Amino acid sequence: MVIPTRCGNRQFTWGERTYLMGILNVSPDSFSGDGLAGDPGIMASRAKKMVDDGADIIDVGGESTRPGAMPVSVEEEIRRVIPVIARLGRELGIPLSIDTYKAEVARLAIEAGVGMINDVCGLNGDPGMARVAAAAGVPVVIVSNQRNTAIEGDIMAAVISDLRESIQVARDAGMVEENIIIDPGIGFGKSPRQNREIVRRLAELKVFERPILLGTSRKFMIDLSPERWIEATEASIAIGIAGGADIVRVHDVKEMARVCRMSDAITRKLKGTK
């Protein structure tokens, strides 16, 4: 059994059900067009709606990670996210996550009330990130990112090798095992075919005996128009849960909460279901 993880005021008991991470993009250039930079009131309202719709954690990001996006300075990212985190920490009753690969942003976000780090560079973007996480005792989502490495062979072998190296970085920094969460990095340097293969073979990541986060929301796994993103996301999440996903990171919380509940009813022994 995978050891439970403490995040903020909640304990995530892995294997009982799928947890929902709602995406709150505090940037003007989100790939899916949902960025909310500059309006804290709208950000708070959207976050509260996600909580009402079933989110277990809100992931706040101040820099777009879409291919070709312009990098954001540490100072600008801090300016975008810290006021939002401070407000949400006062107004929401669920944990917050910070979507960043910069150690200083993560450190200040933790001081402002964040209980988790979501690092799309898998602890390789900033040498200080693992130390910040270990010192604060917060869980980290380690994402496998191949944007600077073309993978022509077995994509799952590459993802597993990459995650193994990042997990060792976390351990060397003093992170405890229960604070390590893994993410295969859908969309980060993978082709649509490789993304589909990862979802299909997600169960292979159980070799790490760590919780798995799956982030397929609104991503181009096949050539679909934007109005069909929800359908594609629903399908990938259902298959991912069957393959062992413990957390799903989503834009459309209400719809995906329904998918998670049905998928859990089929794949897990849920209390209170007939």
Distance CA 153, CA 85 (A): 41
Q: Which secondary structure element, helix H or strand E, spans residue 214, and what is its range? A: strand 213-214
Cβ atoms of residues 20 and 248 within 8 Å: yes
Cβ atoms of residues 27 and 35 within 8 Å: yes
End-to-end alpha carbon distance in the chain: 24
Nearest residue to 155 (alpha-carbon basis) of 180, 113, 192: 192
| pLDDT of amino acid 42 | 84
What backbone torsions phi and psi does residue 100 show, to the nearest 5 degrees?
-155, 155
Helical segments of 54-210, H only: 74-91, 103-112, 129-136, 155-172, 192-200
DSSP 19-66: EEEEEEE-STT-TTS---TT-HHHHHHHHHHHHHHT-SEEEEESS--S
Q: How many CB atoms are closer than 10 A to CB 196?
A: 18
Confidence of residue 27 (pLDDT cuts 50, 70, 90): confident
Q: Which of 17, 46, 107, 249 is catalytic?
A: 249
pLDDT in tens, 207-240: 999 999 999 998 877 766 667 888 989 999 999 9
What backbone torsions phi and psi does residue 248 show, to the nearest 5 degrees?
-120, 135
Domains, the chain, with CATH or none:
17-267 (3.20.20.20)
Question: Which of 26-30, 115-119, 183-187 has the least mean pLDDT?
Answer: 26-30
Q: Is 274 a catalytic residue?
A: no
Distance CA 57, CA 12 (A): 10
Strands, sheet with 57-61, edge to edge from the N-terminal-most edge strand: 180-183, 140-143, 116-119, 96-99, 57-61, 19-25, 247-250, 213-214
Q: Which of 46, 210, 218, 219 is catalytic?
A: 219
Higher pLDDT, 30 or 110: 110
pLDDT in tens, 135-175: 999 999 999 999 878 788 999 999 999 999 999 999 999 99
pLDDT in tens, 242-268: 999 999 999 999 999 999 999 999 999
Look at the alpha carbons of 8, 9, 14, 19 in this order and tell me if their dihedral is positive or negative: negative
